[in-house]
Structure 1
């Protein structure tokens, strides 16, 4: 009887993790399309960052206050990994990159490549064994990245190559965030509060300096509202909570693995909403990166 109950509880935990991960993938797909759309609007990078972080920060401030003791006791490298890995540095890298390349490129070079960096961190810092399956998966992903970078380079577009490199840096940040979340053992709400409030604080500190340009006063609300809803509410609040829950229930590597499915969803949304078509080489790179990411991190029980 007890064994049946334990089995049901385990299944329930896994189910909640899977559902949270599915919700996260849908929001991530919208994220890259919204990034590209925002980059093509009159909004500046600073404007988009404000819309992304301010609202969730205000909403989650009581959570941070209640958990301040617990958060203060954590190792500082985990806190830094969360704040940098998915906070303001990660977002600014993504925003600047999105103005130079298609939405699907971003989805390939962030959730698609992040599993590679997660595996590298696990092997280098936590002495996990690198199985042959992982070697094959990593090699496949690197082949896909090389194909994608070669396409951008052969197009003789310095901006496309620059955008791709920024997205690779963002992928490294996201991998650090994924591992930090797993090791910090904070709740999903605490993670969301920490990264949103730290990013919002940074924005408010630099705002009076006039370093960054802003067009919020002159941009039509039709451009502002979608960014606020997708970025501020879904990405800034809902996805942080669902991804944190997925990591805690399924593990960092499994969560990053299924994040590699994002490019397929982004390609569909970008085609429908932004009218972006895909080159043959981009499709080939998508297949290589997705299959390689799954192969490198998926564990057979």
Structure 2
């Protein structure tokens, strides 16, 4: 999980170096095009795949949500500091919890409701509406968190129906297709240096997801989730050292509050899972 955090922060920093030279939609599209190279080992599984009508609908919806979320994320990176992007991204698991109640009928106990409220207060601490002017990048990150939560919820639904590698591969393919028209509409010819940066983004993103998968296989999520807080620490440091972004104590405090709430929600879900699952099933994803 430490390597995962470093990879994802590297992704954020590399996108930041583009400084808007390549439009957000085009940057996202090229990142996913480069990422398709890593799908080659799974081509046989994809060739033999037979999806039901329901699964086609779910993957199409997930691809659409992820496509718009990625565009919003790339746009936010050109507008607001790295630390704010990282801190607000912690809202994703909170929104997933809420969506699971609405669409999957999961029960939400009082303590988990309290944790969600605390997480939203942490977001307000970061945004501080009424005390400072909000940038379009802040609204883009709220959209990113909402759209990514839809994507992750669908991944939770289909993860028990097919292999994880296939789920990831289908996401990459559908998002690449979904991003294509947006990228074409704003296309500018990228320099070789910018292409190299986006290739690096694809490598670090893939490496981060692979490391995260290894972490989930090695230990329960209740142990790995707290380590994600280090991403905020590294984001603050990189923003200050390489992009002259001042350290905002409200962002650090708000991110800490959100992470604390997410860790609590994760712990409560693990406790409930142990109560209803047979012995020996914990930690299998």
With normalisation by structure 2, the TM-score equals 0.79
CA contact (8 A) 2:83 2:239 kept: yes
Paired residues, what number?
267
Query: Structure 1 residue 30 and structure 2 residue 4: aligned?
Result: no
**Residue 254 to residue 135, structure 1, CA distance change in 2 (3 Å):** farther
**Residue 139 to residue 254, structure 1, CA distance change in 2 (3 Å):** farther
Equivalent residue in structure 2 for 1:146, among 124, 127, 140:
124
CA contact (8 A) 2:2 2:230 kept: no
CA contact (8 A) 2:32 2:176 kept: yes
User: 1:121 maps to which residue?
Assistant: 99
CA contact (8 A) 1:108 1:260 kept: no
CA contact (8 A) 1:191 1:241 kept: no
Equivalent residue in structure 2 for 1:180, among 154, 157, 167:
154
Q: Write the distance in 2 (CA, Å) between the matches of 1:258 and 1:131.
A: 25
Shift in Å at residue 43 of structure 1?
A: 2.2
User: 1:102 maps to which residue?
Assistant: 81
CA contact (8 A) 1:107 1:263 kept: yes
Shift in Å at residue 255 of structure 1?
A: 7.4
User: 2:276 maps to which residue?
Assistant: none
CA contact (8 A) 1:134 1:297 kept: no
Q: Write the distance in 2 (CA, Å) between the matches of 1:24 and 1:170.
A: 20
CA contact (8 A) 1:63 1:193 kept: yes
Q: Write the distance in 2 (CA, Å) between the matches of 1:255 and 1:176.
A: 22
CA contact (8 A) 1:45 1:96 kept: yes
Query: Structure 1 residue 294 and structure 2 residue 263: aligned?
Result: yes
**Residue 206 to residue 137, structure 1, CA distance change in 2 (3 Å):** closer
Shift in Å at residue 95 of structure 1?
A: 1.0
Shift in Å at residue 242 of structure 1?
A: 4.4
Where does 1:7-86 land on structure 2 (aligned, <5 Å)? Answer: 21-38=1-18, 40-60=19-39, 63-64=42-43, 66-70=45-49, 72-73=51-52, 75-86=55-66
CA-to-partner distance for each residue in 1:216-274, whole Å, 9 max, x for gaps?
A: 1xx3x344323311x22221x33344446666887889877765653233222322332
**Residue 295 to residue 66, structure 1, CA distance change in 2 (3 Å):** closer
With normalisation by structure 1, the TM-score equals 0.75
Shift in Å at residue 163 of structure 1?
A: 1.1
Where does 1:241-280 land on structure 2 (aligned, <5 Å)? Answer: 241-243=210-212, 259=228, 262-280=231-249
Where does 1:151-170 land on structure 2 (aligned, <5 Å)? Answer: 153-157=130-134, 160=135, 162-170=136-144
Gaps of at least 5 residues in structure 2 are 272-285
User: RMSD in angstroms over aligned alpha carbons?
Assistant: 3.1
User: 1:200 maps to which residue?
Assistant: 176
User: 1:7 maps to which residue?
Assistant: none
